Amino acid sequence: MMILLLSLGIVFSVIVFFPSFSDAESGPKTFVTHSGAVIQTSGEIIDPLYTVSTVEFDPMEFLRDFNYGKVSQLSDGTVLREFTIVAEDDKIMEVSPGVFYNVWTFNGTVPGPTIRSTEGDLLRITFINNGSKEHTMHFHGIHPAEMDGVFEPVGGNGGQFVYEFEAGPVGVHPYHCHVMPLEEHIVHGLYGVFIVDPKEERSPADEMVMVLNGLDTDFDTENNFYAANTIPFYYQHHPIQINTDELIRIYVVNMVEFDPINNFHLHGNLYKYYPTGTDLVPSFYTDMITLSQTERGIMEFEYDFPGKYLFHAHKVEFSEKGWTGIFLVNDPTKKTVLEIDYGTK
């Protein structure tokens, strides 16, 4: 009787401590490494570099998405642009295949929407804080002190504040939450890009926004991932399609925390670089810029030859942890990229 009970107890504890071992899928799978080796496995593949994950946030959509606001004209002819920005801090998002992270968002995404205006426009931004903590919007640029989003914390669960100021100066600027502890509010994702166009428009181009950011998913004040537009390796497995002989203009903003610098290297080309975008004459013609925290600028370039070109941080640690991508340059008049031979055979 005792023995029976004891053995029952043992079986019971075995069931408690070793619940059903998960079943492996049958059949071998293969994957290719960086160096081209083909690896076969009877198990599963974990590969954030080339795995095409379905992400809630679409970096491809964000790339060319500019938010001009609700436009109207004041009696004196000034253009009024109205925006509504909602902050939240309870969202759990899959940031890399299988990795779930609590993102704090402006309008549901990291980065928040790209706010775009023309110099001299009046901006009216209704900020609603639906988070559980206090948040604000602090714009880099020129504005009155009470519109700075620092000393006017907006309470959570529906608190509101209306930021109103004249757009300026011309250039590309970040905006971000400025509630203490600041680092925490920034690294969780409360930031975005604010573009002020000159009154005389820049030349037409294929324009895009790249926010260089990092994710510290285990809160050890070191980034576990880096990216252009949040999702690591995204533009590597989803190359950005552009055309030869077409002007490309990138508004690039560095929001990486913890690491003092970031940089941007372009392959097979050089770009004109306008630091902060405040001057209409480029300061550099280079393939490498170094960016400190919230440092930003505008890059302009054209490709002469079709094909695949990498762009990435030349701080290789960052690129090997996600901040890397590919431009797929198509020649609209000639053959497609797929027909190009790489290397010598």
Our CB check for other proteins shows the closer of 177 and 227 to be 227
Our CB check for other proteins shows the closer of 185 and 321 to be 321
Member of 39, 162, 180, 288 binding other proteins (CB under 8 A): 39
Member of 60, 79, 99, 128 binding other proteins (CB under 8 A): 99
158 binds other proteins per the rule CB under 8 A: no
Q: Strand 240-243 relative to strand 324-330: parallel, antiparallel, unpaired?
A: parallel
**C-alpha–C-alpha distance, residues 186 and 116, integer Å:** 21
* Positions 298 through 317 that interact with other proteins (CB under 8 A): 316-317
CB of 217 to other proteins, least distance (A): 2
322 binds other proteins per the rule CB under 8 A: yes
* β-sheet bridge partners, residue 308: 328
* Positions 203 through 222 that interact with other proteins (CB under 8 A): 215, 217-218
CA 174 centroid distance within chain: 13
53 binds other proteins per the rule CB under 8 A: no
Q: Give every CB contact of residue 8 below 8 A, 6+ residues apart in sequence.
A: none
Write the CA distances from 12 to 2, 4, 19, integer angstroms: 15, 12, 10
55 binds other proteins per the rule CB under 8 A: no
Question: Per-residue contact track with other proteins, 58 to 77, x per CB under 8 A?
Answer: --------------------
Q: Which residue has the tokens 């027909």?
A: 339
Our CB check for other proteins shows the closer of 45 and 180 to be 45
Q: Give every CB contact of residue 16 below 8 A, 6+ residues apart in sequence.
A: none
- Asked if residues 234 and 55 have their Cβ atoms less than 8 Å apart, the reply is yes
Side-by-side strand order, sheet with 138-139: 115-118, 191-197, 171-176, 138-139
- Asked if residues 179 and 133 have their Cβ atoms less than 8 Å apart, the reply is yes
Our CB check for other proteins shows the closer of 39 and 288 to be 39
Cα pseudo-dihedral 175, 58, 324, 255, rounded to 10: 10
Enumerate the H helices of 118-187 as residue ranges.
182-187
CB of 256 to other proteins, least distance (A): 16
325 binds other proteins per the rule CB under 8 A: no
Q: With contacts defined by CB under 8 A, name the span among 63-71, 93-101, 193-201, 300-308 that binds other proteins.
A: 93-101
Alpha carbons within 13 A on the beta-carbon side of 101:
27
Backbone angles phi and psi of 234, in degrees to 5: -60, -50
CB of 322 to other proteins, least distance (A): 7
17 binds other proteins per the rule CB under 8 A: yes
CB of 8 to other proteins, least distance (A): 8
Q: Which residues of the chain form contacts with other proteins (CB under 8 A)?
A: 1-2, 5-6, 8-9, 12, 16-25, 29, 31, 33-35, 37, 39, 41-50, 95-101, 215, 217-218, 224-225, 232, 316-317, 320-322
